[in-house]
Amino acid sequence: MERVPQDAGRVRRFVVVGGALLVVAVAAYWIGSQGGRGGEAAPRPNATPTPSATLTTPEVFKRVGPSVVVIQAGKAFGTGMIAAEDGTILTAHHVVKGAKDVTLTFADGTKAKAVVASSNPKRDIATLKPERLPEIVVPATLGGVVAVGAPVVAIGNPLGLTYSVSTGVVSGLDRTSKEGDLRGLIQFDASVNPGSSGGPLLDARGLVIGVVVSIADPGGDEAFAGIAFAVPIGVALGGDEGDGPPGGPQI
């Protein structure tokens, strides 16, 4: 298990393991200008015009919920988001690491098998290519300004409770794990739990500013302690390099 800077405690990354109830809901800054190296295929950002108005939490969910995907990788569950108009799914690498069978459930109930199109353990980011898409593909809009104290919304599938929404603020920026395996992380306090990994962290305009990857776990009980971390969307798209593969339990 790894330790976050100062007194943040151990950083935990974990997925919901088989047996968790999957309740499928039917309805629901940095933009990287460089591609990844080594043949990585970063998703093309959604071309939808950037929203300018601040939204309420229900409005954020209404806008982004259709882009969120339930991921079942083997016996584990996680979260992903439609990140491009061709249906490319962006998620956390550890959600699909080593999985031979990956199944997606879209917000409209469409189910599809998927293959890992690209993977970068150094950033804990992966992209998936679905074998089929829902009738209407709704990509999330990537990018946004991140500031300490700014409100954020997380959407994911914690403990198998799909399309769950939590709110909080950006607690800190440029966080680095004690071992230096992940750096430049966004710290936030919106509640996330096992199954949330790979889900979007959104600003008050409904823009994806990060990919949820981990929580601090000072008690060692895999319970949310008010400190969570996300890979900035620019890093996820290839705008920066990590220092090494992430370790420890995964969310």
Task: List, by residue number, the catalytic residues.
Answer: 94, 124, 197
The alpha carbon of residue 147 and the mean position of all alpha carbons in its chain are separated, in whole angstroms, by 19
Instruction: Spell out the long-range contacts of 17-22 with Cβ–Cβ below 8 A and sequence spacing 24 or more.
Output: 17/75, 17/76, 18/74, 18/75, 18/76, 19/75, 20/77, 20/159, 20/160, 20/194, 20/195, 21/160, 21/161, 22/70, 22/72, 22/77, 22/160, 22/162
CA angle 113, 120, 96 (to 5 degrees): 30
Helices and strands per DSSP (H, E), number in the chain: 3, 15
- CB burial class (10 A; 0-12, 13-18, 19+) of residue 141? buried
User: Quick check: helix, strand or coil at residue 209?
Assistant: strand
